[in-house]
Amino acid sequence: MTTASFDPAEPWWRGFETPLTAFAIAELLSEAGVPAGVANVVTTTDPGAVVYSLLEHRAVRKLSFTGSTSVGRHLLCRAAGRVQNVSMELGANAPFVVCDDTDLDAAVAGALVAKFRNSGQACTAVNRFFVHSGVVDEFTRRFSKAVDTLHLGPATDPASQIGPLISAAAVRRIQAALDEALASGARIVNAPVTVPDRGTSSRRSSSATFLKTVS
């Protein structure tokens, strides 16, 4: 029988902010009928030692890792010793490409999902757009208009399309990236709003910002 072990993110007091996701996945698998022992959650305060021990065990046939490039490099080196099968989803700067013959309505719809799913807090979220010069103005107009219609609100509200970022540190990182882009010549093309530091907002407008850098 093929089994799997999950190593969840580290707890919030060590700076990691999604420690319960792996437990939720395991619970859902159990509810779906997956036999006990097939999907296992391994918790530890010393992930390096645990993962390296697993990689050296002959029963482990596959490693899948989502995370930083630096950690992925270390894991690849370890896995190479036993020539293990590995899948790596590492840090990158995911692009969204819009060609000159594209269906702009479809491109805008796809871009909204690719960028703003889970308020942009996904490892596969788009970080930059490459748009053909022949359609850049129209795509920018349509996309910025669509962004402005996104509903900002609490994550507990089913109508919310943009919810809170996970932490104050995440807000600071995004603001720093925005400030750097503007300092480098980018310009804001939509109408971002200021959201409260505490509490929630139910305004029918978005806190998302769309920048245009090169025409």
Q: Which of 177, 72, 161, 179 is nearest to 128 (CA)?
A: 177
Choose the catalytic residue: 27, 56, 123, 180. Answer: 123
Contacts of 191 (CB under 8 A, 6+ apart): 148, 205
Choose the catalytic residue: 56, 89, 138, 180. Answer: 89
Q: How far apart are CA 19 and CA 43, in angstroms?
A: 9
Known catalytic residue at 99? no
Known catalytic residue at 89? yes
Radius of gyration (C-alpha) of the chain in whole angstroms: 21
Which one-letter DSSP state was computed for residue 151?
P
Q: How far apart are CA 146 and CA 161, in angstroms?
A: 12
140-160: burial string, b at 16+ Cβ within 10 Å, e else = bebbbebbbebbbbeeeeeeb
Question: Catalytic residue positions?
Answer: 89, 123
